Structure 1
Amino acid sequence: MRWFILVLLVFSVSTTYAHNQLVVDIMSSENFSQRYNEFLDGRSPLDVQDFHPTTKGSHIEIIEMVLLQQALFLGGETREVVFNPKPSVNIIEFTDMIAGDSLILARSVWHEDIINYRGSLFVSDAVVEFGDYEAGLYVAKRNVALQNLPKEQLDQLTVVANPRWRVDWRALNNTPINIVSFIGPWETMLNMVETDIVDAMLVNFSVSSDLLLNFEGREYVPIQNLKMMLPDSRHFIVSKRHPQGEQIFAALNRGLKILKARGILRKALMQSGFINHLVTDWQFINEDMMATAGVVQ
């Protein structure tokens, strides 16, 4: 009888603890969890006020994990967030969320990628506004000749791109660049640059002080003084079919409005290097698309 009571108590405590957690899905194919813990360095995500990068590689994914928790807390959702790595979660697949099996993702997504699913997904206020997402044309560092390619010679450049990445694809198609279509891992695309199958790949700017991208010992740099605007906004999404969807979405959007009003959202994007001050004066390749800024809702 004593063992039965003990088991019952343990089950009760475990159940209560689970109810006090909010499960947020994240991609298991990336080392986001490791880099996230390194960035926090023992801090609570709710206490983070300095968003400068402490790890190599793109930093926006880590910052969004922090901003999501701060927004939820400010919006009234005080449960502990627990990240749940899921192999099925990637940039363009939202099957589990549409079905209601997943509640929320830990990173923002392009508005264009989820516009056809708005009947099944709540879409938050913009985390990244239209016009704020900038990227460079990264070439192999050893390819010195391409590093200072003038804008007038972009019609000689070959750039690998995945047509399923619709925002990147649309941006590149509004330039004289020659696009090489490839559907596959981005690591393979970088390898195509390394092996001279193509000249370059469109990548959001590195957080390093010289914009250098180092991947598995291979180094890439952006073509100097040229950048591209990716023409869309990015948003958090919440499942409408999940039992907690409406409640979580309301808290999230309330919190995002507070973060924006306090200037924290903009501060985080700038300090993290996502809005990169090193390329402020660089010339847009697709400047004509800037005319549509603000149209996406």
Structure 2
Amino acid sequence: MNNNFIGFFIFLLLSFNGQANEVIDIPITQTLLSEYHAYQQEFKVKKEQAFLKRTVADLLIFQQALIAGGITAKLNYLIVPNLKREFLLLKHGEIVASPRIISEGSVSDDVKLSTAIIKKGNFKKLMYGLKSNQKLMSANNLDDLKELRAVLASGWKYDKEKLTQLGFKHIITTYNYPTIFKLIKHRDIDFTLLDLPSRENMLKYYQGIELAPVPNIIITLPNSRHFMISRNHADSEKVSQALTKGIRILHENGTIKKYYQQAKMYHPRFEQWQEF
């Protein structure tokens, strides 16, 4: 796909929010909003070489799918603390949709899913923990790790099912993503599952806490990933149709694949890793 195509879409994203009279409230964490603004600024200088996290790529795809589907409303970013709050807002029809991608089968009847953004078998994660955890980092295979303790976000249903299927028995959950890092750092939890890294050094950071991937092990989750749409909002059907159309267009023209390549989701360095 021509890089100018992505550049054109980014130009739209940097400019269209001030051009529409209609306003759509979009839930977003403060962390993601800050990362999105940082990407906007870096893109102006580095273009497609700008550092792009997968969650920011999700947001860009959401915005572009709305545009491609015919909606050019101004997006008002509504700060939410976590996924639980997003679910409640969607359930009660206080917001129409969310740019957070989520697994099929992970939502209530009050929420429906968009067309798949990431198709089945294409969503992969790594095991992350402290670099100083020698038992974790020196493992040669999964059998060396099955007695260790894991922490996952409570909404990561398929992550938990996958670890259970693989034989892990000690799994706790938390609603708050930052708490995952704190539990691993301070509470004798060994690892979590996190997205493939965007940084070349493959490390993940939060408030001074650094997590490293377990070498040579990659976990493939069997489910697809989707945006969430409320069934109880006045604009639900309009937004659903726009996202369906827009996602189809972005799959066909390669925009979705291009963004996830920029975010290092599809990277040749993982091709020789053991996949489970």
The TM tier, using the shorter chain, reads 0.7 to 0.9
Structure with larger Rg: 1
RMSD (CA atoms): 2.7
User: Shift of the alpha carbon at 1:209?
Assistant: 0.6
**Percent identity over paired residues:** 21
CA deviation after TM superposition for structure 1 residue 202, in Å: 1.6
Paired position in structure 2 for 1:100 = 93
Relative to structure 1, is the Cα distance of residues 269 and 42 closer, same or farther in structure 2, using a 3 angstrom cutoff?
closer
- The reply on whether 1:253 has 2:253 as its aligned counterpart is no
- Asked if residue 283 in structure 1 is aligned to residue 274 in structure 2, the reply is yes
Question: What SS is found at the alignment partner of 1:31?
Answer: helix
Q: 1:113 aligns with which of 103, 106, 112?
A: 106
Aligned length: 257
Amino acid at match of 1:138: Y
2:172 equivalent to 1:188:
no
The CA deviation string for residues 104-135 of structure 1, in whole angstroms up to 9 with x for no partner, is: 11222221212x41xx4342110111111111
The residue number in structure 1 matching 2:139 is 149
CA displacement 1:37-65 (0-9 Å, x = unmatched)? 11011879xxx983x5526xxx1221121
Distance change >3 Å, CA 184–CA 33, structure 1 → 2: closer
- What CA distance in whole angstroms lies between the structure 1 residues aligned with 2:137 and 2:42? 40
Check the 8 A contact 1:180/1:198 in 2, yes or no: no
Q: Distance in 2 between matches of 1:273 and 1:147?
A: 22
Displacement of 1:210 in angstroms is 2.1
CA distance in 2, matches of 1:38, 1:66: 13
Q: Is the 8 A contact 1:212 1:219 kept in 2?
A: yes
Residue 92 of structure 1, CA deviation: 7.4
Gaps of 5+ in 2: 1-17
The alignment partner of 2:100 has SS state of: coil
Shift in Å, 1:267? 1.4
Residue of 50, 57, 62 corresponding to 1:63: 57
TM-score of the superposition, structure 1-length normalised? Answer: 0.76
Q: Secondary structure at the match of 2:83?
A: coil
User: CA-to-partner distance for each residue in 1:196-224, whole Å, 9 max, x for gaps?
Assistant: 61222222222111211222223221111
Contact 2:106–2:155 (CA<8 Å) still a contact in 1? Answer: no
Matched ranges for 1:93-242 at <5 A: 93-114=86-107, 116-117=108-109, 120-151=110-141, 152-162=143-153, 164-195=155-186, 197-242=188-233
Could you tell me how far apart the structure 2 residues matched to 1:125 and 1:93 are? 19
Determine the C-alpha separation between the residues in 1 that align with 2:177 and 2:199.
20
Q: Which amino acid aligns with 2:229?
A: V
Q: Which residue of 2 aligns with 1:3?
A: none
